[in-house]
């Protein structure tokens, strides 16, 4: 069994190195920290090796990285706050996508109204004739 973001792994894929904790840490705090721009750009680039898309992390270099370990209570507070921010961002992104879709539907409705006006003008001006059998379908 292998779970993403889990501390305990059983039968991990061979491409992964499993690290076990020696001290108690808040896994959510470090999951967010290890995914952060600051960690990736400032710290992780020091340990990445390879020239292709399949870059690897040098374990000795990774283990030599010095990172801040706040008290466990502070880790939880920070992780909770960051999780809320992340949820709010996801909600804002979803709302933005919904608003874009609403705007596109409004534009489409406006185009249909314009098309309808044009068709009605042609019909009322006598440029186009409607066959009686078409009119009878809607009675």
Query: Closest Cα to residue 28, out of 69, 79, 74?
Result: 79
pLDDT at 1 over 50: no
Chain position carrying tokens 């399949």: 54
Is the whole model's pTM more than 0.95, yes or no? no
pLDDT at 9 over 90: no
Question: pLDDT tens, 18-53?
Answer: 777 788 889 899 889 888 888 888 888 777 776 666
The backbone torsions φ and ψ at residue 18, rounded to the nearest 5 degrees and listed phi first, read -95, 125
Average pLDDT on 75-90 reads 93
**Percent of the chain at pLDDT exceeding 70:** 86
- Got the DSSP string for the chain? ---TT-S--SS--TT------SS---HHHHHHHHHSHHIIIIIGGGTEE-SSSS-EE-HHHHHT-------HHHHHHHHHHHHHHHHHHHHHHHHHHHHHHHHHHHHHHHHHHHHHHHHHHHHHTTSS---HHHHHHT-
Taking CA atoms, 80 is separated from 72, 77, 92, 118, 120, in Å, by 12, 5, 18, 57, 59
Please report the pLDDT score of residue 20 as a whole number: 79
User: What does the block give as tokens for 10?
Assistant: 């059983």
pLDDT at 68 over 70: yes
């Amino acid at each position: 069994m292998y779970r993403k973001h889990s501390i305990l792994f059983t039968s991990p894929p061979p491409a992964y190195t499993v690290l076990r904790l020696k001290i108690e840490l808040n896994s959510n705090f470090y999951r967010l920290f290890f995914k952060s721009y600051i960690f990736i750009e400032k710290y992780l680039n020091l340990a990445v090796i390879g020239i292709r898309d399949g870059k690897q992390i040098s374990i000795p270099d990774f283990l030599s990285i010095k990172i801040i370990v706040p008290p466990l209570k502070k880790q939880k507070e920070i992780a909770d706050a960051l999780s809320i921010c992340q949820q709010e961002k996801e909600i804002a992104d979803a709302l933005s996508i919904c608003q874009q879709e609403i705007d596109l539907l409004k534009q489409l409705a406006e185009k249909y109204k314009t098309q309808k006006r044009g068709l009605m003008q042609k019909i009322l001006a006598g440029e186009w004739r409607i066959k009686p059998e078409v009119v009878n379908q809607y009675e």
